Structure 1
Amino acid sequence: MATLNGSPAPLAALQALALTNYGHFTTMAVEDGAVRGLALHLARLADDCRAVFGAELDPEWVRECVRREAGGRPGTFMVRVTVFDPELDLTAPDRAGRPCVLVTTRPAPGAGRLPLPALRVQRLAFHREAPSVKHVALFGQLRLRRAARLAGFDDVLFTGVDGLVSEGCTWNIGFVDEAGTVVWPQAPVLPGITMRLLRAGGDGHVSAPVTDGRLRSMRAAFATSTGIGVRAVAAVDDIVFRTDDPVVGALREAYAAVPPDRL
């Protein structure tokens, strides 16, 4: 089911979103009515609403919309909150300013059973437009994810025109160097909620440019997102990493230990 502002979403509104593709969203993993990093998800929606629509979004209203759709459902599943204006006119997008809250649900990756198998990813050059905003324009990302999968990989890892590693298609990437330090790429990326929770929870994290040479010196790599938690990366192109690294295991445990907030 899909709800718009807490009520069943009309077909016309969904058609408007599909045809204009202008808006922003966040995706949460709901576990028995609770969400890790809920406050960060709500803050992201409020910040992005100012950036995309120049409008204020009440976090408590968003929370209520999510609660109506998913608050009483048991188990683990994904909730996506999309903010868009059903009345947006393609010829006058400057008039968009009445954002609505669409709440949809889907099964969790691996039916909620984590950790998922390690990823093999291919580097491809790409730079997301407005990378700090989690917007709905996903064509470029999905086109390259498709290309990587057709080439025999599990997913794609983006690099800039300078060759620096940035982020995955719908996830952040981190590395573990030979000293056991967690290294996050210093590049324009979407600041993922899982990454932010991990960085806030412990020491031994740094941001640094990840060149090809530095990438090849890393002992482990991992992907992070709300849907996958902390997922080991087995290989980037022909570069192989250990998938049982204790630092990655510790990060996975640290994320699992983050207390979720009730909807």
Structure 2
Amino acid sequence: MTSAHAAPAPPAHVEIDGVPAGDPGLLTTLMSGFGHFTAMQVRDGRVKGLGRHLERLDLATRELFGEELPGDRVRTLLTGGVTAAGLRDCSARVYVYDGVRVAVVVREAAPDGPGAPQRLRSVDYLRPAAHLKHLGGFGQSYHGEAARRAGYDEALLTSSAGEIAEGAVTNIAFWDGTSVVWPSAPCLTGITMALLEGPLGSVRRRVTLADLGAYRAAFVTNSRGIAPVSGIDEVDFAVDEGLMERVHAAYESVEWEAL
């Protein structure tokens, strides 16, 4: 099966700060900004939701490049990267580029346990192809940095009509006193979000900035953990300790899968 995305011809020469690149073709591929990835926490050679990560990578590779990405290949590369890093616990990312070239990046582990409360600033911006964890996220990075410079912790992505979709690098959920509600606007279904949906008995429905007063609490999730939301724009939320205990207990109940 051939790639659905036409790769550019290899460049004649690439240099960085005056130093020629060792592999111009590879560097050009990595710099293309066309690809996708998944991010996870590894603890003693195990990952929560590993099967979901492998499925995400395979489906996105088929959609973007018209080729499959076998889970066994990813596991082998991921295990090799984690082993080479010499870290028992770590944060790991798997990037996939044209030609199904796979890059593994390993960093220090994110802290375990509850995250600090987050204050969010809404912005009129939605990610293109929101169902994919794709590269080239300039818009979300731009709005995220602008929010932090303005004294917030994260940007909250919304439509021009104020419909809430997701955080710049998180999913968001709301608590109405009865149900955990995830916004139904197009967004990435994060792995942590997917692992929580069933155990929490949560629902998806339309949520707008105008609806915020109807909710008692909110929290955000991503590959680095779970944190309560202390406010969105001028709307304050109390940290519901009971809710957060329930959310963390649901996440802790998810079994670890060995690489």
Q: 2:46 aligned with 1:34, yes or no?
A: yes
Identify the residue that residue 261 of structure 1 maps to in structure 2.
257
Q: 2:133 aligned with 1:121, yes or no?
A: no
- Cα deviation digits, residues 73-97 of structure 1 (max 9, x gap): 4543110000002xxxxxxxxxxxx
Contact 1:232/1:243, CA 8 A, preserved across alignment: yes
CA distance in 2 between counterparts of 1:136 and 1:108 reads 22
Letter in 1 for 2:104: V
Deviation at 1:28, TM superposition (A): 0.9
* Equivalent residues in 2 for 1:61-210, closer than 5 Å: 61-71=73-83, 73-85=86-98, 98-109=99-110, 112-177=111-176, 179-203=177-201, 205-210=202-207
Q: Which moved more, 1:21-30 or 1:210-219?
A: 210-219
Q: 2:233 aligned with 1:237, yes or no?
A: yes
Q: Compared with structure 1, are the counterparts of its residues 18 and 69 closer, same or farther at alpha carbon in structure 2 (3 Å cutoff)? A: closer
Deviation at 1:59, TM superposition (A): 1.1
Contact 1:175/1:182, CA 8 A, preserved across alignment: yes
- Cα deviation digits, residues 207-230 of structure 1 (max 9, x gap): 1111223212211110011112x2
Contact 2:200/2:247, CA 8 A, preserved across alignment: no
Contact 1:120/1:236, CA 8 A, preserved across alignment: yes
Q: Structure 1, unaligned stretches of length 5 or more?
A: 1-9, 86-97
In angstroms, what is the RMSD of aligned CA positions? 1.6
Q: Secondary structure at the match of 1:199?
A: helix
Contact 2:30/2:97, CA 8 A, preserved across alignment: no
CA distance in 2 between counterparts of 1:13 and 1:69 reads 22
Structure whose CA Rg is larger: 2
Identify the residue that residue 4 of structure 1 maps to in structure 2.
none
Letter in 1 for 2:179: T
Q: Compared with structure 1, are the counterparts of its residues 13 and 42 closer, same or farther at alpha carbon in structure 2 (3 Å cutoff)? A: farther
Q: Which moved more, 1:128-137 or 1:66-75?
A: 66-75
Deviation at 1:14, TM superposition (A): 5.7
Letter in 1 for 2:221: T
- Cα deviation digits, residues 4-58 of structure 1 (max 9, x gap): xxxxxx7646622443111110001101110000000000000000111111111
CA distance in 2 between counterparts of 1:74 and 1:147 reads 33
Contact 1:33/1:71, CA 8 A, preserved across alignment: no
CA distance in 2 between counterparts of 1:239 and 1:246 reads 21
Identify the residue that residue 90 of structure 1 maps to in structure 2.
none
Identity %: 36
Deviation at 1:244, TM superposition (A): 3.3
Letter in 2 for 1:181: S
- Cα deviation digits, residues 133-166 of structure 1 (max 9, x gap): 1111110110000111111111100101221010
CA distance in 1 between counterparts of 2:83 and 2:115 reads 26
CA distance in 2 between counterparts of 1:42 and 1:249 reads 29
Q: Compared with structure 1, are the counterparts of its residues 71 and 43 closer, same or farther at alpha carbon in structure 2 (3 Å cutoff)? A: farther
Q: Secondary structure at the match of 1:201?
A: helix
Contact 2:180/2:200, CA 8 A, preserved across alignment: no
Letter in 2 for 1:260: W
CA distance in 2 between counterparts of 1:242 and 1:17 reads 46
Contact 1:83/1:101, CA 8 A, preserved across alignment: yes
Q: Structure 2, unaligned stretches of length 5 or more?
A: 1-21
CA distance in 2 between counterparts of 1:160 and 1:250 reads 30
CA distance in 1 between counterparts of 2:157 and 2:170 reads 10
Letter in 2 for 1:56: E
Contact 1:25/1:80, CA 8 A, preserved across alignment: yes
